[in-house]
A and B are shown apart, each in its own frame.
Chain A
Amino acid sequence: GAVVSQHPSWVICKSGTSVKIECRSLDFQATTMFWYRQFPKQSLMLMATSNEGSKATYEQGVEKDKFLINHASLTLSTLTVTSAHPEDSSFYICSASRGHYNSPLHFGNGTRLTVT
């Protein structure tokens, strides 16, 4: 069964509003979670690394004030898209791992965001 749960699966919001996406590790504690963004027919681009109890590490070019990440517990990370605009419409997907480089990342089912 799924080991990472992501909600909502899809969301439509109006331009200027904020949207929160939740990512939960279901049967293990994840000190680190990762948030990716994917445009149609393209690869997954890492946005940020979410660290439990500390600030997220953002990849170059990702606006940290626009994409707020909170990792308040060992099983929950949230991504908030603030003041969303149509260009933020995308597929957002989170992931977590039980271990380090020799362990796969388990992915949530993703959130399809449409900003109108």
Chain B
Amino acid sequence: AQKITQTQPGMFVQEKEAVTLDCTYDTSDPSYGLFWYKQPSSGEMIFLIYQGSYDQQNATEGRYSLNFQKARKSANLVISASQLGDSAMYFCAMRDGSSSNTGKLIFGQGTTLQVKP
């Protein structure tokens, strides 16, 4: 069965500093995708970054990078040069390729990030 775990309910970071949000996952399927979403207080879900299980390199998208450690089953999100607008809830999520799965996206518990000025 799929499982996503985020162990940090809340995090603080000083503006302009980097922050790492932790995520571990579990799946028996060799084909899977890992995703990070940002949810501001307005409620919309904003897709940030994707990492595929067969990708050899860590994904990067602007100030976002994903520290993918496959053997440890971790996919931590690194936000560099934090901005006040980064304050939001962040979700790690996974889809796997099993035929019985329909590609549904399973979410972790989320981490609330607050950026201090």
Contacts and interface: CB of A to CB of B under 8 A. Distances in A.
Given A103-B33, A104-B47, A44 B91 contact: yes
A45 B95 CA distance: 14
Interface in A60-104: 91, 93, 95, 97, 100-104
Contacts of A101: 31-33, 95-97, 101, 103
A110 B44 contact: yes
Contact of A49 (B32, B104, B106): B104
Interface residues of B, number: 28
A102 B105 contact: no
A34 B104 CA distance: 7
A46 B93 CA distance: 12
A103 B47 CA distance: 11
A112 interface: yes
Q: Interface of chain A, helix or strand or loop or mixed?
A: strand
User: Which of A44, A45, A109, A110 has the largest count of B CB atoms less than 10 A from its CB?
Assistant: A44
Contact of B44 (A46, A103, A107): A107
Contacts of B42: 109
Contacts of B109: 42-43
A43 B105 contact: no
Closest 4 pairs between A and B when the two form their complex, measured CB to CB: A107-B45, A101-B95, A101-B97, A104-B47
Interface of A: 32, 34, 41-46, 49, 51, 57, 91, 93, 95, 97, 100-107, 109-110, 112
7 contacts: A46-B105, A93-B43, A102-B52, A102-B95, A103-B33, A104-B35, A110-B45
Interface of B: 31-33, 35, 37, 42-45, 47, 50, 52, 89, 91, 95-97, 101-110, 112
